[in-house]
Amino acid sequence: MANTPTPHNKAQLGDIAKTVLMPGDPLRAKYIADTYLEDPVCFNTVRNMLGYTGTYKGKKISVMGSGMGMPSIGIYSYELYNFYDVDNIIRIGSAGAIQDEVELMDVVIGMGACTDSNYAHQYNLPGTFAPIGTYGLLEKAVQAAREQGTTVKVGNVLSSDVFYDADETAFDRWRSMGVMAIEMEAAALYMNAAKARKNALCILTISDHLYRHEGLSAEERQVGFGKMMEIALELA
């Protein structure tokens, strides 16, 4: 029996490119398609999780929302890797900084993704799994940033299951281990990629700082996120 379409994606096999950019917000996926892609075609509207395929500098590329949190990106990235023959998924999203040297609008690439999630439990591993991005994509992203003139910070991020954490000291402990920023999806994406023998990378823009109580305005987000999007598009 064919695996496509799925309960979450109405695309047929072949509708989606080998490389997919995944912002959390489906409306940001639409913005990317409308702004950067030539001849974009919408392949999914199920649950309003919009997805589009077009070309960028002559290369076929897709963009699709992932939703918020690891369960959501876990579903969509699993299906893309295993049912739609996607090879590369690049998460592009926002993050909250927890290190002093990380500033608003900085672009951060998650070389590794710590997590407080139990997502890895499904693999029944005899220890703790360390989710990491694909080095080839990481190397290309850093080079694209250099050519763009954008300084990026590369290191460890935290993929948290909790947005409003009842433990008010939790961030202090992650900060003490050098974790740069907090987001909610990368670890599940990296684990799905590892299991499927596919490629993944998480590129983030710092939208707020949890220790300085700073945050970007809507206009600043648009400018800062544009740099991140353009780096990711070069990975197709």
- Cα(94)–Cα(123) distance, integer angstroms: 28
Name the CATH code of domain 19-233 (choices 3.20.20.70, 3.30.420.40, 3.90.1010.10, 3.40.50.1580). 3.40.50.1580
Model confidence pLDDT, tens digit, residues 150-204: 999 999 999 999 999 999 999 999 999 999 999 999 999 999 999 999 999 999 9
Q: Answer whether 93's CB lies under 8 Å from 202's CB.
A: yes
- Choice among 25, 85, 161, 208 that is catalytic: 208
Q: Which helix (H) or strand (E) holds 187?
A: helix 186-196
Say if residue 222's pLDDT is above 70. no
208 is catalytic: yes
- Cα(181)–Cα(59) distance, integer angstroms: 32
In the chain, domain spans: 19-233
